[in-house]
């Protein structure tokens, strides 16, 4: 209680004990729990529940902890049952409403794969279904629906990739705002003697750190250091090269190089590369890549930049785009012009979606004209 009093004096705010709750570990006896709650004047609860829309505590049963997100999505879909929504209307509903429901939680926690799959399954059922119960054949898996429209998909979100892009924002803040309280806590706990990129998952990590650690791969592929004095850039553990071959220095190299900072490759007291030293350590192609990096006197400190944005700052949009490229969903060129032409025609959205379905069936099932006409008539896909 003295700690709470100290907080009140420092913050100038009084804690409302009647609105507060206390949760104890199972290692404490029931009698002791009741006695402590009475002494503190705080109500004893058996679970922490949610606070500000987020789970206060995440245990082993993560699927149950995040089940409320699925319930919210399901309730919203059920509220639309009975409405005569066209495919264009469903597209708007999915992109503007359903996909936005888990966004807040995904900015903090990495949702379990099973939870994401269940949400995607519900949205896919809503898209292909019809009538009061959304019954219908799911002709295309959700994974294929997340492809851009120029690649034959519908441009829906890949929730796992979007989740990683959201959490990568936290990792970006840890690196660029090293003096913040959050960055200091994570560094002291998980990587006190190394950099964020070289950090290990650690023993018994928090669930939040697990998500940030997994989202590092987005930052590792999209970040690059602008060399200033080179004091904070590890030669083998940070992305700092500039050419198209990649920002990371390839392995293997002499073990001593792993302890080098970029500053150690510069001439003493001069803002220029130590050419002789670099040539003695690295092969010719690596030496040329390092010497091609310009050193500016005006740039005194090392600065981390995001390659895909002109302002050099990370954004969830660019991170998601990079993640889609890494998974191979946004870098295809097959029939890209044809799909782009389909969506750019001057026609109502309802007609475009019909043409998309026709083109999809022709492409996927590889039907001849006569087979496809019979297929449409038999299954009554075109209703005038």
Instruction: Give the CA-trace dihedral at 271, 275, 278, 284, to 10 degrees.
Output: 130
pLDDT in tens, 318-366: 999 999 988 888 765 555 667 778 888 888 888 888 888 887 766 655 5
SS3 label, residue 332: coil
The β-bridge partners of 225 are 304
Q: Of 114-118, 287-291, 306-310, 323-327, where does the model show the most confidence?
A: 114-118
Q: In the predicted model, what is the mean pLDDT of the chain?
A: 83
pLDDT at 379: 45
Backbone angles phi, psi at 261, to 5 degrees: -100, 160
CA dist 318 to 26, 106, 177, 210, Å?
A: 44, 16, 20, 22
What percent of the chain shows pLDDT beyond 70? 88
Q: In angstroms, rounded to a whole number, what is the distance separating the alpha carbons of residues 213 and 208?
A: 9
pLDDT at 378: 44
Q: Which residues, in sequence order, are CB contacts of 75 under 8 Å at separation 6+?
A: none
Q: In angstroms, rounded to a whole number, what is the distance separating the alpha carbons of residues 376 and 384?
A: 12
pLDDT at 382: 41
> Quick one: which of 26, 68, 81, 23 has its CA closest to 48?
23
For residue 28, is pLDDT > 90? no
SS3 label, residue 368: coil
Residue 253's pLDDT band (boundaries 50, 70, 90)?
A: low
345, 250 Cβ separation under 8 angstroms: no
pLDDT in tens, 161-217: 999 999 999 999 999 998 999 999 999 999 998 889 989 998 889 999 999 999 999
Map 293-325 to HEC letters. CCCCCCCCCCEEEECCCCCCCCCHHHHHHHHHH
Residue 120's pLDDT band (boundaries 50, 70, 90)?
A: very high
Could you say which DSSP state residue 111 is in?
A: -
Q: Which residues, in sequence order, are CB contacts of 181 under 8 Å at separation 6+?
A: none
CA dist 374 to 252, 354, 380, 381, Å?
A: 61, 17, 10, 11
Q: Which residues, in sequence order, are CB contacts of 329 under 8 Å at separation 6+?
A: 146, 147, 148, 151, 153, 158
pLDDT in tens, 357-379: 887 766 655 544 544 454 444 44
Residue 112's pLDDT band (boundaries 50, 70, 90)?
A: very high
For residue 304, is pLDDT > 80? yes
More confident residue, 157 or 373: 157
Q: In angstroms, rounded to a whole number, what is the distance separating the alpha carbons of residues 355 and 360?
A: 8
Q: In angstroms, rounded to a whole number, what is the distance separating the alpha carbons of residues 117 and 137?
A: 18
pLDDT at 336: 66
For residue 144, is pLDDT > 70? yes
Q: Tell the burial category of 38 from Cβ atoms under 10 Å away from its Cβ (0-12, 13-18, 19+).
A: exposed
For residue 80, is pLDDT > 70? yes
Backbone angles phi, psi at 266, to 5 degrees: -100, 160
């Amino acid at each position: 209680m003295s700690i709470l009093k100290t907080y009140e004096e420092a913050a100038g705010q009084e804690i409302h004990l009647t609105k507060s709750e206390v949760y104890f570990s199972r290692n404490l006896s029931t009698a002791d729990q009741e006695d402590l709650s009475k002494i503190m004047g705080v109500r004893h609860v058996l679970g922490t529940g949610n606070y500000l829309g987020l789970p206060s505590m995440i245990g082993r049963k993560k699927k149950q902890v995040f089940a409320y997100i699925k319930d919210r999505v399901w309730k919203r879909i059920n509220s639309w049952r009975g409405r005569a929504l066209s495919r264009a209307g469903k597209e708007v509903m999915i992109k503007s409403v359903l996909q936005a429901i888990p966004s807040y939680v995904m900015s903090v926690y990495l949702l379990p794969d099973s939870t994401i799959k269940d949400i995607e399954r519900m949205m896919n059922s809503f898209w292909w279904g019809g009538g009061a119960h959304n019954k219908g054949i799911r002709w295309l898996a959700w994974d294929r629906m997340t492809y851009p429209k120029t690649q034959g998909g519908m441009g829906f979100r890949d929730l796992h990739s979007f989740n990683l892009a959201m959490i990568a924002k936290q990792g970006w803040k840890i690196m660029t705002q090293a003096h913040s309280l959050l960055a200091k806590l994570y560094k002291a706990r998980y990587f006190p003697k190394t950099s964020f990129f070289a950090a290990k998952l650690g023993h018994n990590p928090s669930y939040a750190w697990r998500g940030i650690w997994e989202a590092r791969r987005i930052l590792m592929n999209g970040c690059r250091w602008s060399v200033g004095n080179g004091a904070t850039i590890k030669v083998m553990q940070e992305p700092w090269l500039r050419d198209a071959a990649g920002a990371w220095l390839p392995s293997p190299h002499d073990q001593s190089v792993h302890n080098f900072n970029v500053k150690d490759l510069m001439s003493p007291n001069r803002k220029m590369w130590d050419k002789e030293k670099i040539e003695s350590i690295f092969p010719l192609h690596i030496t040329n890549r390092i010497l091609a990096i310009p050193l500016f006197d005006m740039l005194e400190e090392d600065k981390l930049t995001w390659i895909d944005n002109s302002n050099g700052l990370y954004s969830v949009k660019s991170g998601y785009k990079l993640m889609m490229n890494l998974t191979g969903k946004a870098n295809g060129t097959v029939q890209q012009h044809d799909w782009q032409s389909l969506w750019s025609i001057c026609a109502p959205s309802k007609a475009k979606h019909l043409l998309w379905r026709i083109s999809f069936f022709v492409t996927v099932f590889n039907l001849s004209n006569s087979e496809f006409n019979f297929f449409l008539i038999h299954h009554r896909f075109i209703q005038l």
